[in-house]
């Protein structure tokens, strides 16, 4: 079971890196997908969020493949995923994002839960 959990964490991390890079390089495309207003400011700030998504995804990959356990990195990546889920959910509730964005919120919520599961597994194997 542990190897499947690690595989799931790696897949989520790769998706996070790739989607973060997409958001960083073409923020207008992603903004259009989530139904948000596209302005120079929204493109700029969405690109910044994309940069941090890519960094957190890469951090998780680094934590998984590091010789030393890095449970702090795993915990904070889980918090980033849960926070992103809440932020997108609030964006939907406030009419900033369309309902298609709910898929992003649910993906981040499930990712955060899986990352916490992985964190717990690391913590118990100390």
Listed by start position, the domains of the chain span 2-124
Which pLDDT value is given to residue 126?
Answer: 66
Q: What is the mean pLDDT of the chain?
A: 94
Question: How confident is the model over 57-73, as pLDDT tens digits?
Answer: 999 999 999 988 889 99
* Residue 51 confidence (pLDDT): 97
Q: What is the rounded CA–CA span in Å between residue 20 and residue 78?
A: 16
pLDDT of residue 10: 97
State both tokens at 42. 């929204």
Entry pTM: 0.92
State how far the Cα of 46 lies from the Cα of 24, in Å rounded to an integer.
7
pLDDT, residue 123, reads 77
Taking Cα atoms as reference points, which of 57, 49, 58, 50 lies closest to residue 21? 50
Tens digits of residue pLDDT in 78-112: 999 999 999 999 999 999 999 999 999 999 999 99
pLDDT of 2 reads 85
- Residue pair 35/28 in contact (Cβ under 8 Å)? The answer is no
Residues in the chain: 126
**DSSP string over 26-56:** -HHHHHHHTT----HHHHHHHHHHHHHHHHH
Q: What is the pLDDT of residue 48?
A: 97
**9/3 Cα distance (integer angstroms):** 10
pLDDT score recorded for residue 122: 87
By the 8 A CB rule, do 43 and 91 touch?
no
């Amino acid at each position: 079971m542990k190897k499947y959990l690690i595989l799931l964490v790696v897949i989520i991390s790769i998706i996070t890196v790739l989607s973060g890079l997409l958001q960083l390089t073409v923020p207008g495309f992603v903004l259009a997908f989530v139904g948000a207003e596209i302005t120079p400011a929204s493109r700029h700030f969405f690109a910044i969020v994309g940069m941090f998504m890519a960094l957190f995804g890469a951090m998780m990959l680094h934590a998984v493949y590091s010789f030393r356990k890095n449970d702090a990195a795993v915990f904070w990546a889980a918090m980033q995923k849960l926070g992103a889920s809440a932020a997108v959910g609030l964006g939907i509730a406030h009419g900033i994002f369309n309902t298609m964005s709910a898929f992003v919120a649910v993906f981040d919520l499930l990712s955060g839960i899986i990352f916490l599961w992985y964190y717990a597994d690391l913590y118990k194997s100390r």
